[in-house]
Chains A and B, each alone.
Chain A
Amino acid sequence: MTDKFMSPHDVEAIPGTEGWERLYPYHYQFSKDDPDRAAFEESQLWFYDGLHYPEPHYPFDLIWDEAWFLALSQNNTRTFLMPPALGIDHRIINGHVYITPVGVADPEEVGRRVPTFMKRAGYYYENWDRLYEDWKVKVNGLLVELEAVKFEPLPEVEDETLVFENRGIGSGYELLAKYDELINMGLKVWQYHFEFLNLGYAAYVTFINTANTIFPDIPISTLTRMVSGIDVVMYKPDSELVRLAKLAIENGLDQLLIDNKSSAAVMTEMANTTAGKYWLDELEKARYPWFHISTGTGWYHHHSSWNDDLDVPFASIVMHIEAIKAGKQVGRPTEKLIEEREALIEEYRSLIGTDADREAFDQVLAVAQRVFPYVEDHLFYVEHWFHSIFWNKIRELSDVLVGAGFFKDREDIWLLKRGEIRDALWDHVTSWATGTIARGPSYWQKEIDWRKGIMEKFQAWSPPPALGTPPDVVTEPFSIVLWGVTTSVLKNWLKGVEAVTEGGVEELMGAPGSSGVVEGRARVIKSAKELSSLLEGEILVATTTSPSWAPAFTKIAGAVTDVGGAMCHAAIVCREYGLPTVVGTGRGTTTIKTGDLVRIDGDAGSVTILERA
């Protein structure tokens, strides 16, 4: 077994993609230009961020990666002075993002950072609830600003108010300024996203490690159950669907929903009756903000929200109606969850041998519980609500450029870096201002066609899980908790044994997501639209799941995902539904086929294909 991964400088470009580097910022490239920077790159462990990015990046979509690159790193390094940890450095190879946590090498420097950290982080821990309330106010303000952004085609002739109100500012300038504002809002919401997220994770990691000291080998999934919130914003969209399902049954509208295939047809028919109109009003109340939830993770422009495609939530409402009529429990049994959580905590506490240990446990549990609502809920505000609206604002802008002949399709804009969009806008506004021909149409359409070809080749490439030099022991808390990169995972990667074939039995290893062992037929689901094809008792196999998939969880017997760790939402939701789950298998959706008989062991983190369909 080799003790190093491939050097990041040795990864070769995919034939036919030469020149791909210009799709991304120049500083995202591994490079040997500077021997010191090259030596640093060589000495670090870079792992593929498959947790966030199961697919290669479109140039524009990299905005969120850049946003957290800055926000997380600056918070660790410069704001809170996280004693042992600096930021997380980013690179991109063949469209796939690789990251590496950077530590403070000098132990004395770690010590010097402690007093500042204690003072600053202590302030946040002590005032957590109030600061979280402030945080919501700030983010909500930004969402209001975001909603207000509108992009319109440039006028043939400026409105006369420009003159008679002596505003002095032309539409060309405003278009440029609005684009900058929009981008800045996106970067700013990510500043908020990380305002105290790492402090939350630090508290959570401390709880996990302390509990593991007291109860060696206690599963992380059990610990998450002790801290996870009850009244969690991420579950609100699904509880709204349950509400609408019940409302439909109460008002005799359930059959109408079941019979109609499209949301548009349902809504047309609903509008004909008083009861239907009432239901539509309630639907409108639920849509804003709860239907901003993404059907994916929100990280990619093609992760549409429920508001973007009402067929998705309508199909889920139908699932809820059928479940309610079949006498099943739908939604989250909040009271039962509270009871179970308290009983779980009490029973473990009673097994602690000394008062000192019990005090330590209580201390870290209390702080983990305090930080958890923010740790769980920030996702809805940022990745779902903000991103869902943001993508559509960019589409609005794209329409302007489609109108000016720059692109053939509004979805072409994702193939431009955000700086290139600004350049294109300059091209557009100056040619508009001058009354001349822009270069954009001839320049961008050719470039976009070429980039589409590159993206296809990137899609087909399997990124190696890691590059560079692994540490002897992984102790960096964020790699472990968020990405599931542990010492033993690295060893498996080095051995290259992610998939073992043994006498016809295929086994995939992932991380334990939710306890239990179950067998069933697999159904591979590529998007939320396919959820309605799920049959009772099947095993859901997906790249990742979204909390918006919750209605499907009343049907399935278990779940397998390609990406994610014990903290990811698929794992959290499945634990609530008591479904055995294995997360982060890397290649579940490519190895398992619909109809295969599989056994999943949510404790060992293994998936066995027992019989091929």
Chain B
Amino acid sequence: MSDKEKRIVLWYEELEGSDFPLVGKKNANLGEMLKGGIRTSPGFALTLHANDMFIEETGIKGELGSYLSALGEATLEACQEASDAAVKLILEAEVPPAIVDEACAAYQRLCELSNTENVPVAVRSSGAVSMPGQMETYLNIRGEGDLIEYIKKTWASAYHVEAITYRLNKGWGFLLNIGVGVPKMVNSRVSGVSFTLNPLNGDRSKIAVDVSYGLGEAVVSGLVTPDNYLVDKVTLNPIRSTKGSKEVMCVYNASGSDCAFVDVPAEDREHFCVTAEELTEICRVSKVIDKYYGKPYDIEFAIDADLPFPENVIILQVRPESVWSKKADEGRTEQKKDAMDRIVSQLITGVRIK
């Protein structure tokens, strides 16, 4: 453990769930999933320690820390001011050579693994505490120069005004070191989200899947109406399939980093975007994740355009389902003395089946 704590870079396969204080929750979860036999996109994490080294060695830590006390009353204006100053400070600082070297070495290894020069990667924030959606993820980053630049941007995103106000509302500190995840970009033919319960009613015997063409942003951000499935978690048989209109898809910018939205060709909109066997594989893996953690999960996945089935079904990100899991399950059936009592009341109220 002591060794891990001093590392700047840790590969996903070196991580497990309990490592979240070192690399953030998203990264630790990906390591945990690999251990559970769940395919993810290959990649590595920059540790919280690396973030701390950065602010320490560049000498900006003291100045960053001072913003909190300077804030006094945390008005929105004050937060915005503190955010602007912190982001500027981070973006203008030079990343120490030790971190650059380690990150670039890891990136080169990833290029080799993928047999691609300047392989596109995602650069993802990964906090040690849950701050859903408060920090940034950058997609389709290519080359060492951009990689280091976007790592810095990700660190800076911990000081975006939304993230600051979220922290202050929770009574946490202003300073925040975060982990950064650098997985290879999946060449997503389709991507989507699965919930290992029915999000409409909390039923844990179902898996709900939303999936559409291109990168996952289109589905996650709600820009398209995806294909939607309700699948039985036990038998993996689909119960309902609803074809979505799938208007646009998010694709890599061919020219450089980041991505763009384009229209989906009309003929592709008319059919479901995954095959029956791909759907079953998505659900099978979702179920493995649910069983591994022993609770409902919210899962982002993609199907790679270049890989063969079933290796093409890749898990991008997982997190515990947060809505129904927080509610106390109050039960669904009425209190009755015995089976006889249930039969009588059933006969009296009648059956309601569609």
A residues lining the B interface (CB < 8 Å):
82-85, 110, 114, 117-118, 121-122, 125, 202-203, 205-206, 208-210, 212-220, 222, 344, 347-348, 351, 353-354, 356-357, 360-361, 363-364, 366-367, 473, 475-477, 480-481, 486-488, 515-517, 603-604
User: Are B333 and A214 within 8 A (Cβ)?
Assistant: yes
If A222-B234, A477-B351, A480-B353 touch, whether A217 touches B343 (CB-CB below 8 Å) is no
User: Are B234 and A212 within 8 A (Cβ)?
Assistant: no
B354 within 8 A of A: yes
User: Are A351 and B342 within 8 A (Cβ)?
Assistant: no
If A84-B348, A210-B342 touch, whether A354 touches B329 (CB-CB below 8 Å) is yes
Residue from B235, B239, B339, B347 within 8 A of A217 (CB atoms): B239
List 19 additional contacts besides A213-B332, A216-B198; criterion CB under 8 Å. A82-B347, A114-B344, A121-B340, A202-B346, A210-B342, A216-B201, A217-B230, A222-B232, A344-B235, A353-B204, A354-B330, A354-B331, A357-B331, A360-B333, A366-B339, A473-B352, A477-B346, A486-B353, A487-B354
User: Are B343 and A367 within 8 A (Cβ)?
Assistant: yes
How many angstroms from the CA of A217 to the CA of B239 in the assembled complex? Answer: 7
How many angstroms from the CA of A361 to the CA of B340 in the assembled complex? Answer: 13
B240 within 8 A of A: yes
How many angstroms from the CA of A202 to the CA of B339 in the assembled complex? Answer: 11
Residues of chain A within 8 A (CB-CB) of B238 are: 603
User: Are A118 and B340 within 8 A (Cβ)?
Assistant: yes
How many angstroms from the CA of A67 to the CA of B206 in the assembled complex? Answer: 44
Q: Which residue of chain A has the shortest Cβ distance to B290 in the bound complex?
A: A351
How many angstroms from the CA of A83 to the CA of B347 in the assembled complex? Answer: 7
Residues of chain A within 8 A (CB-CB) of B234 are: 222, 344, 347-348, 351
B255 within 8 A of A: no
How many angstroms from the CA of A473 to the CA of B206 in the assembled complex? Answer: 27
CB pairs A–B below 8 angstroms (8 shown): A83-B344, A114-B344, A114-B348, A125-B339, A202-B347, A210-B342, A216-B201, A356-B331
How many angstroms from the CA of A543 to the CA of B206 in the assembled complex? Answer: 34
B18 within 8 A of A: no
If A215-B203, A475-B349, A488-B354 touch, whether A206 touches B342 (CB-CB below 8 Å) is yes
User: Are A480 and B351 within 8 A (Cβ)?
Assistant: yes
Q: Which residue of chain B has the shortest Cβ distance to A487 in the bound complex?
A: B354
User: Are B230 and A360 within 8 A (Cβ)?
Assistant: no
CB distance from A513 to the nearest CB of B (A): 13
User: Are A216 and B203 within 8 A (Cβ)?
Assistant: yes
B338 within 8 A of A: yes
Residues of chain B within 8 A (CB-CB) of A344 are: 234-235
In the A-B complex, the 7 residue pairs with the closest CB atoms: A475-B350, A353-B329, A360-B333, A206-B346, A354-B331, A363-B339, A215-B205
User: Are B339 and A364 within 8 A (Cβ)?
Assistant: yes
CB distance from B199 to the nearest CB of A (A): 12
User: Are B354 and A486 within 8 A (Cβ)?
Assistant: yes
Residues of chain A within 8 A (CB-CB) of B332 are: 213-214, 353, 357
Tell me the chain B residues, 223-237 only, with Cβ under 8 Å from chain A. 230, 232-235, 237
B276 within 8 A of A: yes
Residues of chain A within 8 A (CB-CB) of B350 are: 84, 475-477
User: Are B329 and A217 within 8 A (Cβ)?
Assistant: no
Residue from B335, B336, B351 within 8 A of A205 (CB atoms): B351
Tell me the chain B residues, 273-305 only, with Cβ under 8 Å from chain A. 276
Residues of chain A within 8 A (CB-CB) of B239 are: 217, 219, 603
Tell me the chain B residues, 196-214 only, with Cβ under 8 Å from chain A. 198, 201-206
Residues of chain B within 8 A (CB-CB) of A357 are: 331-333
- State the main secondary structure of chain A at its contact with B: helix
Residue from B204, B205, B342 within 8 A of A364 (CB atoms): B342
CB distance from A222 to the nearest CB of B (A): 6
User: Are A110 and B342 within 8 A (Cβ)?
Assistant: no
User: Are A217 and B346 within 8 A (Cβ)?
Assistant: no
Residue from A367, A480, A603 within 8 A of B237 (CB atoms): A603
Residues of chain A within 8 A (CB-CB) of B349 are: 475
How many angstroms from the CA of A206 to the CA of B239 in the assembled complex? Answer: 21
Residue from B198, B201, B342, B347 within 8 A of A84 (CB atoms): B347
How many angstroms from the CA of A121 to the CA of B343 in the assembled complex? Answer: 10
Q: Which residue of chain A has the shortest Cβ distance to B350 in the bound complex?
A: A475
Residues of chain A within 8 A (CB-CB) of B353 are: 208-209, 212, 220, 480, 486
Residues of chain B within 8 A (CB-CB) of A203 are: 339, 343
How many angstroms from the CA of A272 to the CA of B239 in the assembled complex? Answer: 58
CB distance from A566 to the nearest CB of B (A): 10
How many angstroms from the CA of A348 to the CA of B234 in the assembled complex? Answer: 7
Q: Which residue of chain A has the shortest Cβ distance to B202 in the bound complex?
A: A353
How many angstroms from the CA of A218 to the CA of B233 in the assembled complex? Answer: 10
User: Are B333 and A210 within 8 A (Cβ)?
Assistant: yes
Q: Which residue of chain A has the shortest Cβ distance to B236 in the bound complex?
A: A515
How many angstroms from the CA of A488 to the CA of B352 in the assembled complex? Answer: 11
How many angstroms from the CA of A82 to the CA of B329 in the assembled complex? Answer: 34
How many angstroms from the CA of A220 to the CA of B353 in the assembled complex? Answer: 10
Residues of chain B within 8 A (CB-CB) of A481 are: 351
Residues of chain B within 8 A (CB-CB) of A477 are: 346-347, 350-351
CB distance from B245 to the nearest CB of A (A): 18
User: Are B230 and A206 within 8 A (Cβ)?
Assistant: no
Residues of chain B within 8 A (CB-CB) of A209 are: 346, 351-353
If A83-B344, A203-B339, A603-B237 touch, whether A217 touches B351 (CB-CB below 8 Å) is no
CB distance from A59 to the nearest CB of B (A): 35
User: Are B335 and A356 within 8 A (Cβ)?
Assistant: yes
Residues of chain B within 8 A (CB-CB) of A212 are: 353
Residues of chain A within 8 A (CB-CB) of B329 are: 353-354
User: Are B235 and A515 within 8 A (Cβ)?
Assistant: yes
User: Are A206 and B339 within 8 A (Cβ)?
Assistant: yes
How many angstroms from the CA of A206 to the CA of B339 in the assembled complex? Answer: 9
Residues of chain B within 8 A (CB-CB) of A473 are: 352
CB distance from B202 to the nearest CB of A (A): 8
User: Are B237 and A515 within 8 A (Cβ)?
Assistant: yes
If A217-B240, A351-B204 touch, whether A356 touches B351 (CB-CB below 8 Å) is no
- Residue from B203, B344, B351, B352 having most chain A Cβ neighbours under 10 A: B351
